[in-house]
Amino acid sequence: MKELSSRAMEGDVRAASRLIRNIEDNVPELSIAMKHIFPHTGRAHVIGITGAPGAGKSTLTDELIVAMRKKQKTVGVLAVDPTSPFTGGALLGDRIRMLRHACDQGVFVRSLATRGAMGGLSKAVGDGIHVLDVMGKDKIIVETVGVGQQEVDIINHAHTVIVVLVPGMGDEVQAIKAGLMEIADIFVINKADRDGANKLYKETRSMLEMGHFEDGWEPPIIMIESVLQPQTFSQSVCELCEKIDAHYQHLVDKNLLQSRFIRKVTTELNDSLHLAIFDKLVESLVNSGEWDQMLQALMRKESDPYTLAEAVAKKYLR
Amino acid sequence: MKELSSRAMEGDVRAASRLIRNIEDNVPELSIAMKHIFPHTGRAHVIGITGAPGAGKSTLTDELIVAMRKKQKTVGVLAVDPTSPFTGGALLGDRIRMLRHACDQGVFVRSLATRGAMGGLSKAVGDGIHVLDVMGKDKIIVETVGVGQQEVDIINHAHTVIVVLVPGMGDEVQAIKAGLMEIADIFVINKADRDGANKLYKETRSMLEMGHFEDGWEPPIIMIESVLQPQTFSQSVCELCEKIDAHYQHLVDKNLLQSRFIRKVTTELNDSLHLAIFDKLVESLVNSGEWDQMLQALMRKESDPYTLAEAVAKKYLR
């Protein structure tokens, strides 16, 4: 494991890929690698891109890679969105599109999926970012779908949060937008050649005007036209790329990187504790047969989940 | 609290509403009420409705209420979907639509939202279902958005799971569909007068043919036209309503209610343990100042989250 992390730190793509697979599978020895890596992390600028399914986040990510490469930045991408073409279920076109980065050593794209445990996904994202970070990537893009609480939590790993909106997705999306309003550093109105883009712009602007910006950064709203108009699309993405850099510079200038870092390590500590405490405890309850006994008691209505949980806490928590 | 739960068990709407608000706020005394209620639960048929935002789940729920009332069943609804018009951010039209049940004592509709802790939402849903159950509701509909893992977890509280699909939402949604494929008991293709409905039907059918149905229930696919065609819409929802009852009858006939019940109590035990163990421990770490010390150590890179979590486990887990 230590050899694997050493090689990843030298930029070895295969070692990094294997580490990320180990993160997905949550192999027990993983902590050896992650402990080894952790002191060397914190160099990269982490950018979270979130929004509803179908908002066009992966097309945007793809073009952001191009724009960042033009600025001589190396780029790592973690695609966490379960609906993203990057993470599978992709149309052929999407796969082909990603191939254009395949020969570029400055780009490393990986999808990330985990099965099971609560909090496991956020921990996997935190670890995945560390791997891309120690590989030496300047910019790390984390693409995630902003619908569930867990998905919104993931965004805590980012310095700069981009929320992608799309016109004409109706009032339901407005509610999502409201939930994401507080965490957005930059808004993108994607597919902005669609009907309703100006209306969405005005709505977003007026929502922003109602908020106040404690850290002195007013989130810009960037209109990005359909990818079917490649010229304007690329130009707008370049503008987005500039804003991303400007936001990072703002964090540096105003001494705000620290507060983002606190947000990040708080999330990581929480995720690690969850694995070491809760998941471990449940595992030992299952192994000792107590878990089954409790289920039986519940099914016979001899006890209730609240009483049982209190008893477990009394027995196993010091 | 015990008085509140007694009144809820007598069907008192205001007491039930207050309990649900207490569940949302996770007030400390809540467990008294829930322990009181638990032995009396397990009578209702719990139906989960899930699907992407904008799939039309709440319109469907609304019409299902009508169909179930025609069959003399009392209905409780928990709207967990953060994008649902029930849970806020609604257009006026949606609110008016719900008003048609306002005078019907056989219908009880509540939204459910929680802030914060992982697993908290699932626990709140479990508790909320118990309240509606002891109120005497025959059918309990839980409406949730099927995108995040947490949201999918919620569906474990249901006996019958309905997955709502919509034509023309592109390949991204197909991936979601894949994730929900395993847990669906009934598929609805909503807005089936749209282009691509037949294609979606065929795709879903061929995905179903690839699976196998251990419990002898082959999930039906029900096409439901737009609400703009009220006649056909209502007819199709009636068909859905029949299938929901048929599925429950199947669970009874094949002795499968037991296995759904195990799924349900497993989820509940997990949620309760999470609150009693993990949330409690984090709270005490925060109160003792250890949480802050750990954050400091992380920020100075004197330690890493993995080492710290192991130390906490050693210190606090017996």
- Smallest Cβ–Cβ distance between A34 and the set B178, B295, B304 belongs to B304
**Assigned CATH class of A42-254:** alpha beta
Chain position carrying tokens 């986040």: A57
In chain A, domain spans: 42-254, 272-316
Token representation of residue A77: 């991408």
In this prediction, residues A303-316 reach a mean pLDDT of 95
- Residue B119: the pLDDT is 62
Residues of B in contact with A157 (CB under 8 A): none
Q: Does the pLDDT value for residue A95 go beyond 70?
A: no
Percentage of residues of chain A with pLDDT beyond 70: 85
Percentage of residues of chain B with pLDDT beyond 70: 85
Ranges of beta strands (E only) in chain A are 45-51, 75-79, 107-111, 139-145, 160-165, 186-189, 221-223
User: How many A-B residue pairs are in contact by the CB < 8 A criterion?
Assistant: 234
Token representation of residue B134: 């002891």
Chain A segment 137-166 residues within 8 A of B by beta carbon are 145, 147-151, 153
- Residue B212: the pLDDT is 67
Do the Cβ atoms of B63 and B224 come closer than 8 Å?
no
Q: Is residue B14 exposed (0-12), middle (13-18) or buried (19+ Cβ within 10 Å)? A: exposed
Sequence-distant (6+) residues with CB within 8 A of A193 are: A225, A226, A229
Helix (H) or strand (E) holding B5: helix B2-9
CB contact under 8 A, A262 and B307: no
CB contact under 8 A, A262 and B118: no
Do the Cβ atoms of A48 and A157 come closer than 8 Å?
yes
Token representation of residue A104: 């570029």
- Neighbouring CB atoms inside 10 A of A199's CB total 11
Chain B residue with CA closest to A144: the answer is: B148
State chain B's mean pLDDT as an integer. 85
Q: Does residue B121 sit at the A interface (CB-CB below 8 Å)?
A: yes
Q: Does residue B117 sit at the A interface (CB-CB below 8 Å)?
A: no
Q: Which of A55-69, A114-128, A173-187, B202-216 has the lowest mean pLDDT?
A: A173-187
CB contact under 8 A, B308 and A88: no
- Smallest Cβ–Cβ distance between B148 and the set A35, A150, A266 belongs to A150
Which residue, B268, B266, B276, is CA-closest to A315? Answer: B276
Q: Does residue A300 sit at the B interface (CB-CB below 8 Å)?
A: no
The alpha-carbon gap from A210 to the nearest alpha carbon of chain B, in Å, equals 16
Q: Does residue A298 sit at the B interface (CB-CB below 8 Å)?
A: yes
CA distance A306 to B43: 20
- Smallest Cβ–Cβ distance between B276 and the set A31, A179, A312 belongs to A312
CA distance B54 to B170: 13
Chain position carrying tokens 């850290």: A215
- The per-residue pLDDT for range A62-71, each reduced to its tens digit, is 999 999 999 9
Do the Cβ atoms of B54 and A177 come closer than 8 Å?
no
Q: What is the CA radius of gyration of chain A?
A: 21
The alpha-carbon gap from A147 to the nearest alpha carbon of chain B, in Å, equals 7
* B97 or A43, higher pLDDT: A43
Sequence-distant (6+) residues with CB within 8 A of B61 are: B49, B77, B79, B86, B141, B143
- The per-residue pLDDT for range B32-80, each reduced to its tens digit, is 999 999 999 999 999 999 887 778 888 899 899 999 999 999 999 998 8
- Residue A117: the pLDDT is 52
First CA to last CA distance, chain A = 33
CB contact under 8 A, B175 and A31: no
Chain position carrying tokens 């209702």: B44
- Residue B95: the pLDDT is 47
Percentage of residues of chain A with pLDDT beyond 90: 54
B26: confidence class by pLDDT, cuts 50, 70, 90: confident
Do the Cβ atoms of B72 and B166 come closer than 8 Å?
no
CA distance B219 to B181: 10
CA distance B189 to B184: 13
Q: Which of A25-34, A256-265, B169-178 has the lowest mean pLDDT?
A: B169-178
CA distance A61 to A59: 5
B116: confidence class by pLDDT, cuts 50, 70, 90: low
CB contact under 8 A, B172 and A313: no
Chain A segment 84-113 residues within 8 A of B by beta carbon are 84-85, 87-91
Q: Does residue A52 sit at the B interface (CB-CB below 8 Å)?
A: yes
Chain B residue with CA closest to A269: the answer is: B305
Q: Does the pLDDT value for residue B2 go beyond 80?
A: yes
> Per DSSP, what are the bridge partners of residue B48?
B142, B161
Residues of A in contact with B94 (CB under 8 A): 171
CA distance A27 to B160: 34
B123-to-A27, A126, A232, B23 alpha-carbon distances in Å: 28, 26, 48, 9
- Neighbouring CB atoms inside 10 A of A21's CB total 12
Do the Cβ atoms of B296 and A269 come closer than 8 Å?
no
The alpha-carbon gap from B299 to the nearest alpha carbon of chain A, in Å, equals 7
In this prediction, residues B155-179 reach a mean pLDDT of 72
Q: How many helices (H) and strands (E) are present in chain A, helices listed first? A: 14, 7
CB contact under 8 A, A54 and B149: no
Q: Does residue B207 sit at the A interface (CB-CB below 8 Å)?
A: no
Q: Does the pLDDT value for residue A171 go beyond 90?
A: no
CB contact under 8 A, A306 and B148: no
CATH no., domain B2-165+227-242: 3.40.50
CA distance B232 to B45: 26
What's the DSSP call for residue B192? T
CA distance B287 to B116: 18
Which residue, B62, B40, B56, is CA-closest to B188? Answer: B56
The alpha-carbon gap from A77 to the nearest alpha carbon of chain B, in Å, equals 18
> Which spans in chain B are helix H?
2-9, 13-25, 30-37, 57-70, 92-99, 120-134, 149-154, 170-181, 197-210, 230-253, 257-273, 280-288, 290-299, 305-316
Q: B interface mutation test: which of A35, A57, A59, A149 has the most B CBs within 10 A?
A: A149
Return the exposure string of B189-210: e unless at least 16 CB atoms fall within 10 Å of the residue's CB, then b: bbbbeeebbeebbeebeeebee
Which residue, A240, A246, A252, A264, is CA-closest to A65? Answer: A240
Do the Cβ atoms of B108 and B16 come closer than 8 Å?
yes
B114: confidence class by pLDDT, cuts 50, 70, 90: low
Token representation of residue B230: 């009220």
The alpha-carbon gap from A256 to the nearest alpha carbon of chain B, in Å, equals 14
Token representation of residue A136: 């030496």
A40-to-A9, A135, A145, B232 alpha-carbon distances in Å: 9, 10, 29, 63
CA distance A164 to A204: 11
Residue A185, classed as helix, strand or coil, is coil
State chain A's mean pLDDT as an integer. 85
Do the Cβ atoms of A47 and A243 come closer than 8 Å?
no
Residue B130, classed as helix, strand or coil, is helix
Residues of B in contact with A273 (CB under 8 A): 278, 281-282, 308-309, 312
Q: Does the pLDDT value for residue A153 go beyond 70?
A: yes
Please compute, for residue A275, the number of CA atoms within 13 A of its CA located in the half-sphere on the CB side. Answer: 24
Chain B segment 6-35 residues within 8 A of A by beta carbon are 31, 34-35
CA distance B300 to A34: 17
Whole-model pTM: value is 0.79
CA distance A267 to B118: 12
- Smallest Cβ–Cβ distance between A171 and the set B85, B150, B170 belongs to B85
The alpha-carbon gap from B38 to the nearest alpha carbon of chain A, in Å, equals 6
- Neighbouring CB atoms inside 10 A of A94's CB total 18
